Amino acid sequence: MATTDLTACEIRDAVRRREMSAAEATEASLAAIAALDPKIKAFLAIDADGARRRAADIDRRIAAGENVGLLAGVPVAVKDVLCTANGLPTTCGSKILQNWKAPYNAHVIERLLAEGAVIVGKTNMDEFAMGSSTENSAYFTTRNPWDLERVPGGSSGGSAAAVAARMVPLALGSDTGGSIRQPAALCNVVGLKPTYGRVSRYGLVAFASSLDQIGPFARTVRDAALLLQATAGEDPRDSTCVLNKDQPVPDYLDKLDEPVAPLRIGVPREFFGAGLDPEVEKAVRAALAAYEKQGATLVEIGLPHSTEYAIATYYIVATSEASSNLARYDGVHYGYRSSDHTDMIDMYMRSRAQGFGDEVKRRIMLGTYALSAGYYDAYYKNALRVRRLIRSDFEQAFEKVDCIMGPTTPTPAFRMGEKTADPLSMYLSDVYTVSANLAAIAGVSVPCGFTAAGLPVGLQILSGVFTEDRLLRIARMYEREVDWASRVPPTVAEVRP
């Protein structure tokens, strides 16, 4: 067994017990990156020197008997939407921030450092987290480790692929409409979107502020719980992050293996309708049967607003906020500035026209239109009304059931270029995930099998606000019954001795 097959918990324990050094764990990760990333292209930037220095420091501190935290010596990759003051650029996958170096660390980066993690690099993503395949990255497309001709999903595709290809045991992503859960499903890893307000957004470059949330990627539920543990909790710099006194951060690990019983699982009709790939449905139904076998009750429920209207609502709310959040990239204070402008307005226009990619421009235009005088009520205000209906769909559902399950995505990983010409078909790959963001609830995708062609399928489990502890236990109930996580992607197996 290779060092990179170890889970984060195993590495952490070994490092703490001094059976392995942080340096060894880091070297194994850097070696895997060197061997695999030229094919997979998960990383936009690798900080080998910084990681080595950091690992050496952790080893020194462990030798000195210091407590180095929950993630002692664990290599972690972070999506390039998180500000890092480590000297690497924070590009958000965009040309407009090509050389921009953040002068500060995001709250979650501070947390990782405080808990002894070793940050090895920044992962690729769709530009400003807008996309479902990483094809909207201004730099390159990340490949799915299970089939290099296919996309890893997105927008956090780099993080998902890095974990799936065992280059790192843990990665951070961000989820605005499914950007953690969808790539997790497509890459056979666990991806968790916490409740809105559970993790501070300070230092997460905003796409849609009322939907964005940072969350973990891992190969196991336990590792995802560990990374959530390290990052959750209050931060006075984010007013939308809950106070610990109102929502204490529970211990996500100590009862993780205790099954939830009785368990009532809501199965929404709307998540099994037209457009769902039969192989995906089969895998998800099998997972539901596995829960039934453990004594869970399946309850058919309706979420009338949560598929049909969710995508439309999402694309108004998200683009409106994006058009505002992205207004700051104008070439004046930082980032890309066109060199061929004639005056100030021209500088604004050319910098933005040259600095942003097509999908970002499309969404800025949609959002600008939705917020324009005379249209605001028809679009944005109505979208907020539907958003409240979606939220109440879930609230009503959670009165009857403990969680909701269904497929994470309608199809397995698609081929590169398959959907780029048709933005709407790309948007539909988020059809089951966006409603959780609109409702601000917690959701996770766990591996639940493979198609005949060997492509991973994800089971999505949704639960009410601030119930991540129960959500993780429910996910674990299934995970312990199956063995999907131990499968090694063919690209990874190839490079092994």
Partner 1 sequence: MTAELVPTIGLEVHMHLATRSKMFCGCRVAYDARPNSLVCPVCLGMPGVLPVMNKLAVELSVRMALALNCTIPDFAKWDRKHYYYPDLPKNYQISQYDQPLGINGYLDVETPAGTRRIGITRVHLEEDAGKLMHAEHGNYSIVDLNRTGTPLLEVVSEPDVRGAEEARLYAETLRQLAVYLGISYCNMQLGQMRCEPNVSLRIGAGPDGKPLYTPISELKNLNSFRSVERAVTFEIARHRQEYLADPGNYTLAKQGKSTRGWRDDEGISFLQRSKEEAHDYRYLPEPDLVPFVPERAWVEELRKNLPELPRARRERYIKMGLSEETADMLLAEAFVANFWDVFHETLEHHQGAGKWPIKRVLELANNWTLQDVRRALNEKTIDAPSLHAEFAKQLADLVVLVETGVINRNTGAEVFNKMIKAKLDLNPKSAAEIVKEENLAQTSDSSAIEAFVDQALAANAKAVEDYRGGKKASFGRLMGEAMKASGGKANPQLVKEILLKKLGG
CA dist., res. 458 & res. 390, Å (int): 23
CA dist., res. 470 & res. 221, Å (int): 12
Q: What is the pairing mode between strands 403-407 and 170-175?
A: unpaired
CB 181, min distance to partner 1, A: 21
The only residue of 106, 163, 436, 471 in contact with partner 1, by rule CB under 8 A: 106
Residue 210 or residue 420: which is nearer to partner 1 going by CB?
Answer: 210
Residue 252 or residue 348: which is nearer to partner 1 going by CB?
Answer: 348
Interface with partner 1, residue 344, by CB under 8 A: yes
Binding segment toward partner 1, per CB under 8 A, in 19-27, 53-61, 156-164, 367-375: 367-375
End-to-end Cα separation, the chain, in angstroms = 11
Interface with partner 1, residue 334, by CB under 8 A: yes
23 phi and psi, to 5 degrees? Answer: -60, -45
Interface with partner 1, residue 330, by CB under 8 A: yes
CB 81, min distance to partner 1, A: 8
Interface with partner 1, residue 420, by CB under 8 A: no
Tokens 């409603």, located at residue: 435
Residue 102 or residue 187: which is nearer to partner 1 going by CB?
Answer: 102
Residue 196 or residue 398: which is nearer to partner 1 going by CB?
Answer: 196
Q: Is 486 a catalytic residue?
A: no
CB 434, min distance to partner 1, A: 16
* Per-residue x/- track, 303-322, partner 1 (CB under 8 A): -----------------xx-
Residue 294 or residue 368: which is nearer to partner 1 going by CB?
Answer: 368
CA dist., res. 311 & res. 358, Å (int): 20
DSSP 8-state code for residue 44:
E
Residue 208 or residue 390: which is nearer to partner 1 going by CB?
Answer: 208
Residue of 179, 320, 429, 445 with catalytic role: 179
Give residues with Cβ within 8 angstroms of 20, minimum separation 6.
Answer: 3, 11, 14, 73
Residue of 21, 29, 79, 137 with catalytic role: 79
The only residue of 56, 371, 389, 485 in contact with partner 1, by rule CB under 8 A: 371
Residue 91 or residue 463: which is nearer to partner 1 going by CB?
Answer: 91
Show contacts with partner 1 in window 229-258 (CB under 8 A): 236-240
Residue 41 or residue 95: which is nearer to partner 1 going by CB?
Answer: 95
Residue pair 456/146 in contact (Cβ under 8 Å)? The answer is: yes
The only residue of 2, 243, 332, 453 in contact with partner 1, by rule CB under 8 A: 332
Q: Is 79 a catalytic residue?
A: yes
Binding segment toward partner 1, per CB under 8 A, in 52-60, 204-212, 280-288, 437-445: 204-212
Burial profile 380-407: b = 16 or more Cβ within 10 angstroms, e = fewer: beebeebbeebbebbeebbeebbbbbbb
CB 244, min distance to partner 1, A: 16
Show contacts with partner 1 in window 375-404 (CB under 8 A): 376, 380
Residue 210: Cβ-neighbour burial (10 angstroms; 0-12, 13-18, 19+): middle
Neighbours of 372 (CB within 10 A): 12
CA dist., res. 134 & res. 126, Å (int): 4
CA dist., res. 392 & res. 97, Å (int): 39
Q: Is 155 a catalytic residue?
A: yes
Residue pair 273/289 in contact (Cβ under 8 Å)? The answer is: no
Burial profile 417-443: b = 16 or more Cβ within 10 angstroms, e = fewer: ebbbeebeebbbbbbbbbbbbbbbbbb
CB 237, min distance to partner 1, A: 6
Q: Give, in order, the Cα–Cα distances in Å from 76 to each of 35, 43, 54, 179, 224.
A: 17, 12, 12, 18, 12
Residue 237 or residue 388: which is nearer to partner 1 going by CB?
Answer: 237
Interface with partner 1, residue 204, by CB under 8 A: yes
* Angle (deg, nearest 10), helices 468-479 and 278-293: 100
Interface with partner 1, residue 327, by CB under 8 A: yes
Interface with partner 1, residue 104, by CB under 8 A: yes
CB 368, min distance to partner 1, A: 7
Residue ranges with strand state E in 102-194: 118-123, 170-175, 190-193
Residue pair 458/184 in contact (Cβ under 8 Å)? The answer is: yes
Q: Give, in order, the Cα–Cα distances in Å from 266 to each of 232, 269, 296, 388.
A: 27, 9, 10, 20
Interface with partner 1, residue 29, by CB under 8 A: no
Show contacts with partner 1 in window 62-101 (CB under 8 A): 82-83, 90, 92, 97, 100
Binding segment toward partner 1, per CB under 8 A, in 8-16, 32-40, 332-340, 447-455: 332-340
Residue pair 98/90 in contact (Cβ under 8 Å)? The answer is: no
Per CB under 8 A, residues contacting partner 1 are 82-83, 90, 92, 97, 100, 102-104, 106, 201-206, 208-210, 236-240, 320-321, 323-324, 327-328, 330, 332-334, 344, 348, 368, 371-373, 376, 380
Q: Which residues are catalytic?
A: 79, 155, 179
